[in-house]
Structure 1
Amino acid sequence: MVSAHEDDYDYLYKVVLVGDATVGKTHLLSRYIKGSLPKNPTATIGVEFATRTVPLAVGGTVKAQIWDTAGQERYRAITSAHYRRAVGALLVYDITREGTFKSCAKWMEELRQSAEPDIVIMLVGNKVDLVEKDPSLRQVYYDAAQEFAKLHGLIFAEASAVTAHNVKYAFEHLLQEIYEQTSKRREQQNFDHNNMVGGGIQVAAIGPKADSCDNSC
């Protein structure tokens, strides 16, 4: 559900969409933001940008800045620069193309090198609709992707931009997880701060929105 007031929010999170070309990143974003697929789909050149304000289940509202990055190798220098200050990512592959899944390890490492150290990553296997029509098209099995996600500390879901299956869930579960993890870190920082002050050691105050980014990020 979109907030009636786009500028009325409590947290600002930068999220990036990454993965090989033609896995459906732009379609997923269009389905989530507009509720429809692009009318004239073309390959993303560099980076495209969208925002959505989302109420959290626990209360409070998040404004998500979602950056759709190109998957082609020639744009890698441009796209990786936009990982800076990202606190979340959807790492997308095509379940009918094993090569796009194998690339996920490389994309994941790039994210962890260039984005925030504690970035929350959700692995998304797209194009479930194709497999529902013809199961023989599946090249990446659910259990294998789930095991990869578990091994690397990722959240995982399969989705379809065409049917909208799990699209809203993928984006908003990621936002919820970012909120929960940043809240835990903030609580721990406050706990450490109070203990240090109580022991006579003075530390700098911690900002209330350390997990946020402004429009310049």
Structure 2
Amino acid sequence: MGMVRRLDEEYDYLFKIVLIGDSAVGKSNLLSRFTRNEFSLDSKSTIGVEFATRAVQVDEKIIKAQIWDTAGQERYRAITSAYYRGAFGALIVYDVTKHTSFENVIRWLNELRNHADANIIIMLIGNKTDLEQLRAIPVEEAKSFAQREGLFFIETSALTATNVEQAFQIVLGEIYKMVSKKSLASSENTTASSVAGVKGGKTIDVSSPGDDIRKTQCCSS
């Protein structure tokens, strides 16, 4: 089996990933860095919704990531349910130099849990590590928050391209793991209820955060 086929034309899976977080944390630059290897210091605020795609290889499969980016402003809240529909992964982005953007992560997380699929793979991203001297959120603080909430976590710099590739690769890899486990289970004729146990796939039952109950239906568009 030669891997000669053009990456942008053929793919085995298409996964929608949403970028969320406050305004000016660098969502659009993370998107352009990953999909086009571009960064713009004077990028304008995103208006409405934009998306870009890029194909990567995971486990000998070609996975096309369709990454959606939206304005962090309140006035675009009306688009939420359509924005989240069919998303397999979400990146919640904050700016390591802006404490309010980190405080608001919990609000974005709640919105995600209200609108997105219960099995969605979620990664917390602390962006702008190139501004180390202005850091307001210690790595450990963000890491323990992510652990508590069952999220993946990484720090990035869209400006220097640090960890941007890794962030998307991890999320795509985890989505692929979840989806291939599911198709394996369904091909073995097992019930849907056995297809759970995915990291990050929390239920929306906030009354018992310690419980490890998983929603079984996944990825319905």
Using the size of structure 2 for normalisation, the TM-score is 0.81
| Aligned CA distance change for structure 1 residues 184 and 190 (closer, same or farther; 3 Å) | same
1:127 counterpart = 2:128: yes
Match in the other structure for 1:172: 169
For residues 14 and 165 of structure 1, what CA distance do their matches in structure 2 show? Answer: 23
For residues 153 and 59 of structure 1, what CA distance do their matches in structure 2 show? Answer: 28
Aligned-partner SS, 1:44: coil
Match in the other structure for 1:51: 53
Aligned-partner SS, 2:124: strand
Q: Could you report, residue by residue, the CA deviation over 1:57-99 in whole angstroms, capped at 9, with x for unpaired residues?
A: x221111111001100111112442111101011100000111
| Amino acid in structure 2 at the alignment position of 1:114 | H
For residues 212 and 4 of structure 1, what CA distance do their matches in structure 2 show? Answer: 27
Most deviating of 167-176 and 39-48 = 39-48
Is residue 23–residue 100 contact of structure 1 (8 Å, CA) maintained in 2? yes
What pairs with 1:177-196 in structure 2 (closer than 5 Å)?
A: 177-191=174-188, 193=190
| Amino acid in structure 1 at the alignment position of 2:178 | Q
Percent identity reads 48
Q: Could you report, residue by residue, the CA deviation over 1:154-181 in whole angstroms, capped at 9, with x for unpaired residues?
A: 1100000110000111111110011112
What pairs with 1:55-204 in structure 2 (closer than 5 Å)?
A: 55-56=57-58, 58-131=59-132, 134=133, 137-191=134-188, 193=190
Compute the displacement of 1:51 (Å). Answer: 0.7
| Amino acid in structure 2 at the alignment position of 1:100 | S
| Amino acid in structure 2 at the alignment position of 1:90 | L
For residues 103 and 169 of structure 1, what CA distance do their matches in structure 2 show? Answer: 24
Compute the displacement of 1:185 (Å). Answer: 2.9
Using the size of structure 1 for normalisation, the TM-score is 0.82
Structure 2 unaligned residues grouped into runs of 5+: 192-216
Bigger radius of gyration among the two: 1
Structure 1 runs, 4 residues or longer, greater than 4 Å off: 210-213
RMSD: 2.1
For residues 176 and 87 of structure 2, what CA distance do their matches in structure 1 show? Answer: 13
Compute the displacement of 1:40 (Å). Answer: 4.9
Structure 1 unaligned residues grouped into runs of 5+: 195-209
Equivalent pairs counted in the alignment come to 192
Q: Could you report, residue by residue, the CA deviation over 1:99-158 in whole angstroms, capped at 9, with x for unpaired residues?
A: 111111111121122122200011000000001xx2xx2111111111111111111000
For residues 106 and 81 of structure 1, what CA distance do their matches in structure 2 show? Answer: 18
Aligned-partner SS, 2:84: coil
Is residue 14–residue 65 contact of structure 1 (8 Å, CA) maintained in 2? yes
Match in the other structure for 1:27: 29
| Aligned CA distance change for structure 1 residues 100 and 142 (closer, same or farther; 3 Å) | same
Most deviating of 166-175 and 110-119 = 110-119
What pairs with 1:7-22 in structure 2 (closer than 5 Å)?
A: 7-22=9-24
